[in-house]
Amino acid sequence: MAQPQLEEEKATPRHPKKTNTTRRLQTLNRKGGSGKSTTSGSYAEELGRMGYRVLVADLDANATLTKGVGIRLGELKYSIYDILMSPRTLLETRDAIVQLKHLNFDILPGSENLAFAEPALLMARRQRVLQERLAEVDDEYDFVIIDTAGHESFLHTLGHVYADEVIVPTEADITNWETVVQTLQSVRKVVEDGLNPKMRVRAIIVTRYQQGTKFGEAMLRKLNAEYGDLLLPMVVMQTVRVREAQAFNQPITAYDPESQPAKAYRKLAEHIERG
Ligand SMILES: Nc1ncnc2c1ncn2[C@@H]1O[C@H](COP(=O)(O)OP(=O)(O)OP(=O)(O)O)[C@@H](O)[C@H]1O
Ligand SMILES: [Mg+2]
């Protein structure tokens, strides 16, 4: 398998954006392993395939999404860490963006150093720094998607300040119910505290659904009963194809567009497109 071609030169638009707006999304769930990075990469790629210009910002020190599209962290000149920690006069956001030639979106790569950025930014109360740095480039994109880590941190706050729409992926397992409730409460708090009055949940998507499991069915029933209006009416099945896609540095929507998970993520992208 050939390595994906990466373009690390200054990102010039591959094509003009499709709309005259920029929509800002955050993929959020306080539970680790709930499918956030898989979901972010999949709907980013799908929106890109639909002709939109899409940027994903990887705001996770694990940099799962960045590594998952074939970027080797050690070979990167700059990452989101450098953008958050340097003034614009030294480094422009554009200089850290990687155009993925084998995929239909650009990425502001994650970094293990984000773990060090967090306490420094918290101490300096720089909760608007991501918003300021993305403002340099975001009018060139139809969609900017923030992928966040599973555990609560100040980095989440940076994403909350920036993003107006939240996508909540959750594993199809009733034992994860509380984390969905907490995630939705945290969005409500962002609005109530005035951190970002525009923020709202756009969709809940059930991932890693295993047919015939009582824990999966119970989760789906409860989500339908309590948050039916937000729930995407198609689940993402747990399948080995998703893992396989990651092994080949691609979201499932690029690797196997006719697979069930790709179709579910297409529904999510269409749902987002409708606004
Ligand atoms: N539909 C699926 N079928 C099979 N495996 C899946 C599916 N969706 C996600 N996974 C796997 O589940 C694991 C967790 O997914 P992912 O990394 O997207 O979660 P996450 O919420 O981003 O995790 P973290 O909180 O650590 O950032 C990964 O190993 C991923 O490959
Ligand atoms: Mg992740």
pLDDT at 12: 57
Q: Is 50 exceeded by the pLDDT of residue 8?
A: no
How many angstroms separate the Cα of 12 from the Cα of each of 36, 78, 95, 98? Answer: 28, 17, 10, 10
CA atoms within 13 A on the CB side of 178: 1
Question: Looking at residues 106-129, what average pLDDT do you find?
Answer: 95
pLDDT at 186: 95
Contact 143, 47 (CB under 8 A): yes
pLDDT at 151: 85
Indicate which atom in ligand 1 lies nearest the CA of residue 209. 1
Sorted by where each begins, the domain ranges of the chain are 21-274
Kindly report, residue by residue over 154-187, the tens digit of the pLDDT.
999 999 999 999 999 999 999 999 999 999 999 9
Ion ligand 2 — residues with CB < 5 Å: 36-37, 64
pLDDT at 118: 93
Ligand nearest to the CA of 183: 1
Indicate which atom in ligand 1 lies nearest the CA of residue 261. 1
Ligand 2 midpoint to CA 3 (Å): 22
Kindly report, residue by residue over 49-83, the tens digit of the pLDDT.
999 999 999 999 999 999 999 999 999 999 999 99
pLDDT at 9: 47
Order across the sheet with 165-171: list the strands.
Answer: 6-7, 98-100, 106-108, 54-59, 143-148, 23-27, 165-171, 200-207
* Mean pLDDT score of the chain: 94
Q: Which CATH number fits domain 21-274: 3.40.50.300, 3.40.50.720, 1.10.3210.10, 2.60.120.10?
A: 3.40.50.300
Report if pTM > 0.85: yes
pLDDT at 13: 63
Ligand 2 midpoint to CA 89 (Å): 31
Radius of gyration of the chain (CA): 18
Token duo for residue 19:
């709309």
Q: What is the largest CA-CA distance in the chain?
A: 56
Q: Ligand 1: which residues within 6 Å by Cβ?
A: 32-38, 60, 62, 64, 149-150, 207-208, 236, 238-239, 242-243, 246, 261
Q: Is 90 exceeded by the pLDDT of residue 14?
A: no
Token duo for residue 166:
């939240």
Token duo for residue 241:
């194809």
pLDDT at 219: 98
Question: Looking at residues 27-53, what average pLDDT do you find?
Answer: 97
CB neighbour list of residue 106: distance below 8 Å, 6 or more residues apart: 11, 53, 54, 55, 56, 97, 98, 99, 100, 141
Place of tokens 């709907």: 43
Among 266, 252, 240, 208, CA closest to 33: 208
Strand positions, DSSP E, the chain: 6-7, 23-27, 54-59, 98-100, 106-108, 143-148, 165-171, 200-207
pLDDT at 15: 84
pLDDT at 152: 83
Ligand 1 midpoint to CA 267 (Å): 19
